[in-house]
Amino acid sequence: MDVGNLAKLEALLFTSPEPVSPGEIARAADMSESEVRKYLKILTREFDKKSHGIQVKEYNDRYFFVTKPEFSSYIKSLHNKPGSIRLSQAALETLAIIAYKQPITRAEIEEIRGVKAEKTLLTLGKYGLIRELGRKETTGNPIVYGTTEKFLQYLDIKDLSQLPDLEQFYEEINENQGQ
């Protein structure tokens, strides 16, 4: 194991404001993607040890550092997160519909909910939990929406296949609301 390459990978993850793919790391570090994956495994194991307050997380084959959950109360105490995400019941319902039915149009969301969703979609987009995926090839070419990596991070899941059943989803979202 080349300690220099491991340190290089650690520095790249530490300074990345967004999760990064092994390919992006490989290009920046002048390494092969297979080498990067090998070092990511080593780095993940190293930071999983009790002597570290952070860990390597992976979402959709993209990696980044996060603090370990057992230190969340200390971090909240220091930062007092006044800007943390607080969603209304309407936003929670809309987010659940998008998460489970994506890609989905605003009209389809409104049909399911029975009320207008434009403002709620703007709010969810502002928080970075949803994004426009493109347009549906139908009359009017309406925008279709889907969830983002930030949504996956918010629920602490790697990809959409790990979405809990709908009842558990609401519990987890409400739990995150309380943090």
Average pLDDT per 10 consecutive residues for the chain, totaling 179 residues: 87 88 95 96 92 91 91 72 68 91 95 90 92 93 94 86 78 64
64 shares its domain with 104: no
- Does residue 63 belong to any structural domain of this protein? yes
173 shares its domain with 93: yes
User: So what's the pLDDT on residue 176?
Assistant: 63
140 shares its domain with 94: yes
Give the CATH number for residue 96.
1.10.10.10
User: So what's the pLDDT on residue 81?
Assistant: 46
Domain count, the chain: 2
3-class DSSP state for residue 139?
A: coil
97 shares its domain with 155: yes
- Does residue 76 belong to any structural domain of this protein? no
Which pLDDT tens digit goes with each residue over 98-135?
A: 999 999 999 999 999 888 999 999 999 998 999 999 99
57 shares its domain with 110: no
Nearest to 145 by CA among 176, 169, 112: 112
- Does residue 144 belong to any structural domain of this protein? yes
Maximum CA pair distance of the chain?
Answer: 59
- Does residue 23 belong to any structural domain of this protein? yes
Which stretches of 60-172 are assigned E, i.e. beta strand?
A: 62-67, 104-105, 130-135, 143-147
Show which of 22, 38, 71 is a domain's final residue: 71
User: So what's the pLDDT on residue 17?
Assistant: 78
- Measure CA 58 to chain center: 9
11 shares its domain with 53: yes
How many residues does this entry show for the chain?
Answer: 179
Q: Which two tokens stand for residue 68?
A: 């370990």
66 shares its domain with 97: no
Nearest 5 degrees, angle CA 69-CA 74-CA 77? 125
- Does residue 154 belong to any structural domain of this protein? yes
- Boundaries of domain holding 23: 5-71
* Whole-angstrom distance, CA of residue 101 vs CA of residue 86: 22
62 shares its domain with 95: no
58 shares its domain with 96: no
User: So what's the pLDDT on residue 73?
Assistant: 79
Q: Could you tell me if 81 and 68 are in contact, meaning their C-beta atoms sit under 8 angstroms apart?
A: no
